[in-house]
Chain A
Amino acid sequence: MTAKKCTFSRRRFLQGAAAAGAAAMLPCSLLVPGKAEAAVFSEGDYQTFRNACPRNCYDTCSIKTYVRDGVVRFIEGAPESTFTDGGLCVKGYAYTRRPYSPDRVKYPMVQDGRRSGKWRRVSWDEALDMIAKKMLKLKEEDGSLLGLGMTKYSGNFGITNYGVEGMMSSLGYTTRFVGTPCWPAGIDAQNYDMGNMWCNDPEDMVKAKYVIVWGANPAWCSVHSMKYIMEAKRRGAKVVVVDPVFTQTAAKGDVYWQPKTASDGALALGMARHILDKGLVDEDFVRNYGLGFDEFADYLRNNVTVEWAAEQSGIPVKDIMEVAEEFATADPATIWIGYGMQRHTNGGASVRSIDALVAMTGNVGKEGGGARYGHLQTWGFNYHALIQKQPEGSKGFVGGAAKGEFDFTSGSGASYTDRTVNINKTAQAILDTTDPDIRMLWVSCKNPFAQDFDRPKLEKAFDKLEMVVTVDQFFNETVANSDIVLPVTTLFEEWTVNVSYWHYWLSVNEQAIKPMFETKSNIEIAAALSKKMNELAPGSCTFPQEIDTKEWMEKEFNQSIYDMFAINDWTDLRNGPAKARLKSSAAWSDHKFATPSGKYEFKSELCAQNGHKALPEFKAGRERYDKFRLLTPHTKFGLHSQFVNLDWMHEYDKEPYIYMHPKAAAEKGIGDLDMVRVFNKVGEQKARVKLTDNVAEDCLLMYEAWFGRGNAYNVQNLVDDESADMGAFKAGAPGVAIHDQFANVERA
């Protein structure tokens, strides 16, 4: 061994296990070296692969993965993507540990008694036999498979993972949990105003002369967007951050506004009124490309004053006037509308008010401007994995069924459909649905016990189910409430493809290592189940019984994707991610809107038809039902329940805290780092408290996460399933008022 080799010692732990297969069978604990020293870096020493972070995140980072001896050694951001720019985030860099985590679900397991913890290992054949027999029994007893429910959401946005929906369709007509806890109220709002949700390229924020970040916290939830905001600021733009919490993003702005929670609509309308009074409206835009602006102006004159907005929001009149004038005169000016501010009973109405504010100043359709919320412009895949045919003679639901926001299928002429229930009322839907009851549940790409609302009720609902099958990577709380867990691959172990709902990059996800243990990808699980179903009852499942995940990934591509990204073939992506060719970095740059009128609709009849106001009128928020407002936003160390459980993350994030204002704490005799109990009508949660004026006096803040390792912290013990105003139009079900929650606190 050469001297140079010696410095390799941090990775010498696998020198004796050169074969990839052997490495894959090593116990996970061996995959942590005993020694860390500077490593000789030579790219030629590694095989490199392209991966893409498939989590529900603005950034959808393009990853470059370094593999040696069949083991992921380290990863970095793809240098080719100007968005990722060679870096990832704290969560992304923890990925290297994820496939090798000792806490992974390694084999199919059966639990004898839910929440008993009595797990026993079974073979794939045994597990699928139990599952298939139960499905066939449901079909026989109920006459349909509507008793089989599927709940899946955003745990893995790799396009091939829509094979979970495809698997359900291939079994027959089933019950689907539709909608999204994430962003539906805002989607509907933007659809009423502009005819679609479509945002500018975030990279063009550098051109903005004025940036308002409204209810978003990119410093934690879109770290790669921060450089564009900072660059705009460096070039002279003013950055205003509006948030009920003094967030990390707020700390980086020029001005921070802390309005009363859920008063965003009033604040935007107050600004709009002042802009109107000052004659700063972009007449060209509102006359030529807008519909109903005069009526909106009348509404403002008759119902809104800056003084009223100040009273509603708590932001002083002079500040509202100042920012409104600056915003209206800066060219271009933009507002980033966060998903946080629409998670209210008036969230959709608030987004419409902010859209109107951006539009009346002529900033919609302008590079560096825009009412930025999200987009699905680059999601034009074939959805081959998703689109599967029901077996002959399948019976299903008769009547209207909703479609989810990522459902790209076109309508079919079938007489039956799947049955849909509201994903945001999962517990209630399981308890209430009859004819037939939801008797069996398939969970994948989702951790309902960390995500769905009213956890105590969810436990009762799960107890009603006859069989729960969860496909996951870790033994989380949903797995604890299941009968069977099936181990699923990580991004390094499967082929797929990813795009973002924020930026315009496309990344391929290569299989960089062989699947660890007995893990299978979601489409491989579907194929294995299909094989078993057809063994037991020929013709009972149409999903192909043998699949190659790489071939299936290829089937998602088409010419329009190639044209959009200027690539000849998907294999070009192995050289690096590609960015969509945009005729302008601005959404709606031709001012041709997708609304019924083709204009920006300050007044939307469609919105009125769907039970709301035609104009973006003010709507009051949910009434307070307990002493403090409870906010449960994202943590920087995790994405919903993912990442926080990894031992690497635990090094930097050891326990959850409740954040509280010192004055409010003093009144309750609560001191810094005391253990407290937060409680309300839903349930309770204990954690240590940190005192800070980052939150208002009447507010409690707890970051959402699943800690694992025996820590039962769960904010869903305190969050009910109250609906937001909008979301049913485009996402299939209304959103949920996650931030319209209230609670009290005392020393534990």
Chain B
Amino acid sequence: MKKQYAFLVDTERCIGCFTCAMACRNYYHQVEGVVWRQVYPLSEEIYPHRERAFLSLACNHCENPACLNVCPVEAYTKREEDGVVVHHQEKCIGCGNCIRSCPYGAPKYNPVEKRAEKCSLCHERLDAGLNPACVQACPTDALQLIDLAEFERTNEVQYPAGYPRMEELNPSTRFVLPKTPKMVRR
């Protein structure tokens, strides 16, 4: 397998603190309403306590990205060296095809530029030997950067409950499922 960088979201460690999301905004200054990384609380059907387990999600940098496949102007490329899906905004014509076709909602419409944009996996930081801003920020190492080619599977899942199963795209993000403590209530 070729090198494929991916986010590992360990929901057992995740405290839903939104630090990753704000670290992204701190680094990229997205315009109002544009969110590259969001922290979603799991519904109570999946985790039995409201807003106590989360999925931190950004672009999945899929093996076979829908955004890249539907783009009429080749504004998307997938990096040979590490599988990062890059959006080249200078080529983007703002047609919205990528936004409509990504089942994970990663590309967003920038109303100021009138073009799309999405998580870059901080590829320029990777090139400088640094972690993505969100990964560096995570206080509990719940968000990690992994290479699927080398990653040894243990208890990770690709499609946790509530997350769209899109085998054709083969999204790269992997998840560790949350646990609940023993509850002693009055």
A and B, one complex?
Answer: yes
Residues of A near any B CB (own CB < 8 A): 6-7, 9-11, 32-42, 74-77, 85-91, 93-96, 219-220, 223-224, 226-227, 230, 241, 246, 248-260, 313-316, 319, 636-637, 647-649, 651-652, 690-694, 696
User: Does chain A have a CB within 8 A of B26?
Assistant: yes
Q: How far is the CA of A93 from the CA of B9 in the complex (A)?
A: 20
Please pick, from B28, B50, B181, B186, the residue contacting A313 in the complex, using a CB distance under 8 A.
B186
User: Contacting A260 at CB < 8 Å: which of B51, B178, B186?
Assistant: B186
Q: Find chain B residues with CB under 8 A from A636 CB.
A: 16-18
B136 contacts the other chain (Cβ, under 8 Å)? Answer: yes
Would B52 and A87 count as touching, CB distance under 8 A?
A: no
Residues of B contacting A254 in the complex (Cβ-Cβ under 8 angstroms): 181-182
**Interchain Cβ contacts under 8 Å between A and B, 11 examples:** A9-B89, A39-B124, A88-B19, A88-B23, A226-B139, A248-B17, A256-B182, A260-B186, A651-B25, A692-B51, A694-B50
B18→A316 contact, CB < 8 A = no
Decide: B117 and A258 in contact? CB cutoff 8 A: no
A256 with B183: in contact, given A248-B52, A651-B25, A652-B39 (CB under 8 Å)? yes
Question: In the bound complex, do residue A256 and residue B17 qualify as a contact, i.e. CB atoms below 8 Å apart?
Answer: no
B186 closest partner in A (C-beta): A314
Chain A residues near B52 (CB-CB < 8 A): 246, 248, 251, 694
Which residues of B are at the interface with A, using a C-beta cutoff of 8 A?
A: 13, 15-19, 21-23, 25-36, 38-39, 49-53, 86-87, 89-90, 110, 112-113, 117, 120-125, 127-128, 130, 133, 136-141, 178, 180-186
**A42 CA / B125 CA spacing, docked (Å):** 9
Instruction: Name the distance in Å between A239's Cβ and chain B's nearest Cβ.
Output: 8
Contact between chains at A223 and B117 (CB < 8 Å): no
Given contacts A38-B124, A76-B137, A258-B185, contact A692 B50 (CB under 8 A): yes
On chain B, the residues within 8 Å of A647 by CB distance are 32
Does A32 contact B29, Cβ atoms closer than 8 Å? yes
Contact assessment for A38 and B137 in the assembled complex, using a CB-CB cutoff below 8 Å: no
Asked if A651 contacts B185 (CB within 8 A), the reply is no
B18 and A637 within 8 A (CB): yes
B17, B86, B121: residue with the most chain A Cβ atoms closer than 10 Å: B17
- Contact residue among B32, B87, B89, B181 (Cβ-Cβ distance under 8 Å from A253): B181
Contact A648 B128 (CB under 8 A): no
| Contact between chains at A223 and B23 (CB < 8 Å) | no
CB distance from A730 to the nearest CB of B (A): 31
> With A34-B112, A35-B110, A251-B53 given, is the CB distance from A648 to B186 under 8 Å?
no
B120-A90 in contact (CB<8A): no
Q: Is the CB of B139 within 8 A of A223?
A: yes
Q: How far is the CB of B70 from chain A (nearest CB, A)?
A: 20
Point out which of B53, B139, B180 has the most chain A C-beta atoms below 10 A from its C-beta: B139
* Contact among B25, B117, B128, B138 for A35, CB-based, below 8 A: B117
Q: Are B89 and A251 in contact (CB under 8 A)?
A: no
Q: What separation, in Å, do the CA atoms of A651 and B36 have in the docked complex?
A: 11
Question: When chains A and B are docked, how far (Å) is the Cα of A90 from the Cα of B86?
Answer: 26
| Known pairs A35-B113, A76-B137; A6 contacts B90 (CB<8 A) | yes
Residues of chain A within 8 A of B127, CB atoms compared? 41
Nearest CB of A to B88, in Å: 8
- A-side contacts of B122, CB under 8 Å: 38, 41
B contact residues around A260 at 8 Å (CB): 186
**Residue B19 contacts which of A223, A250, A251, A649 (CB distance < 8 angstroms)?**
A223
| Given A87-B23, A251-B49, A255-B182, 5 more pairs with CB closer than 8 A | A36-B36, A39-B27, A39-B28, A227-B139, A692-B49
A11 to B49, CA, bound (A): 41
Q: A36-B28, A40-B124 are in contact. Are A227 and B140 (CB under 8 A)?
A: yes
Residues of A within 8 A of B184 (CB): 255-258, 315-316, 319
Query: Which of A38, A652, A691 touches B22 (beta carbons < 8 Å)?
Result: A652
Q: Chain B binding site: helix, strand, loop or mixed by DSSP?
A: loop
Q: Does the CB pair B25–A93 fall under 8 Å? A: yes
Instruction: A117 to B137: give the CA distance in the assembly, Å.
Output: 40
Give Cα A74–Cα B134 distance, bound, in whole angstroms.
13
Q: Which of B16, B86, B139 contacts A87 (CB 8 A)?
A: B139
* CB atoms of A38 and B136 under 8 A apart: no
Q: Nearest residue in B to A219 (C-beta to C-beta)?
A: B15
- Specify the chain B residue showing the minimal Cβ separation from A220: B17
In the bound complex, residues from chain B placing their C-beta under 8 Å from that of A313 are 186
- Most chain-B Cβ atoms within 10 A of its Cβ — which of A7, A9, A313? A7
> Which residues from chain B contact A32 at a C-beta distance below 8 Å?
29, 31-32
Contacts known (A36-B117, A74-B26, A636-B18); A259 close to B186, Cβ less than 8 A: yes
Q: Are B141 and A227 in contact (CB under 8 A)?
A: yes
- Choose among B22, B30, B183 the residue that contacts A93 (Cβ–Cβ < 8 A): B22
Measured CB to CB, the closest approach of chain B to A188, in angstroms, equals 28
Q: Which residues of B contact A96 (CB under 8 A)?
A: 26, 29
For B34, the closest partner residue in chain A by CB is A36
> Within the assembled complex, what's the spacing in Å between the Cα atoms of A36 and B130?
19
Does the CB pair A648–B15 fall under 8 Å?
no
CB distance from A316 to the nearest CB of B (A): 7
Smallest CB separation, A449 vs chain B (Å) = 26
Contact in complex: B15, A94 (CB < 8 Å): no
Nearest opposing residue in chain B for A42, CB measure = B128
Report chain B residues within 8 Å CB of A249: 15
Considering only CB atoms, which chain A residue lies closest to B114 in the complex? A34
Measured in the bound complex, the distance between the Cα atoms of B23 and A319 in whole Å is 41
B128 to A, closest residue via Cβ: A41
B21 and A37 contact, CB distance less than 8 A: no
Tell me which of A38, A41, A224, A253 has the highest count of chain B C-beta atoms within 10 A of its own C-beta.
A38
- A90 is contacted by which of B21, B33, B180 (Cβ under 8 Å)? B21
Which 5 residue pairs are nearest across A and B when measured between Cβ atoms?
A314-B186, A38-B120, A93-B22, A692-B50, A219-B15
CA distance A250 to B49 in the complex (A): 11
Q: How far is the CA of A691 from the CA of B49 in the complex (A)?
A: 10
B38 partner residues in chain A, CB cutoff 8 A: 652
Complex Cα gap A258–B181 (Å) = 12
How far is it, in angstroms, between the C-alpha of A637 and the C-alpha of B17 when the chains are bound? 8
CB–CB B136/A90 < 8 A:
no
- Shortest CB–CB separation between residue B85 and chain A, in angstroms? 11
Q: How far is the CB of B20 from chain A (nearest CB, A)?
A: 9
Contact indicator B186/A38 (Cβ below 8 Å): no
Q: Are A86 and B123 in contact, CB atoms less than 8 angstroms apart?
A: no
CA distance A10 to B89 in the complex (A): 11
How far apart are A358's CB and chain B's nearest CB, in angstroms? Answer: 21
Q: Which residues of chain B are near A226, meaning CB under 8 Å? A: 15, 139-140
B46 to chain A, nearest CB (A): 14
- In the complex, the answer to whether A224 meets B117 with C-beta atoms within 8 Å is no
- Report whether B29 and A90 are in contact in the complex, using a CB–CB cutoff of 8 Å: no
CA distance A690 to B43 in the complex (A): 13
B186 to chain A, nearest CB (A): 2
Identify A74's interface contact among B27, B123, B185, CB under 8 A. Answer: B27
What residues of chain A lie closer than 8 Å to B36, measured between beta carbons? 36
CB closest residue in chain B, given A66:
B27
Chain A residue numbers with a CB within 8 Å of B34 are 36
Across the two chains, which residue of chain B brings its CB closest to A227? Answer: B140
Contact A87 B32 (CB under 8 A): no
In this complex, what residue of A is CB-closest to B38?
Answer: A652
Residues of B within 8 A of A248 (CB): 15-17, 52
A693 partner residues in chain B, CB cutoff 8 A: 49-50
A contact residues around B21 at 8 Å (CB) = 90, 651-652
Asked if B15 contacts A252 (CB within 8 A), the reply is yes
Minimum CB–CB distance for B90 against chain A, Å: 7
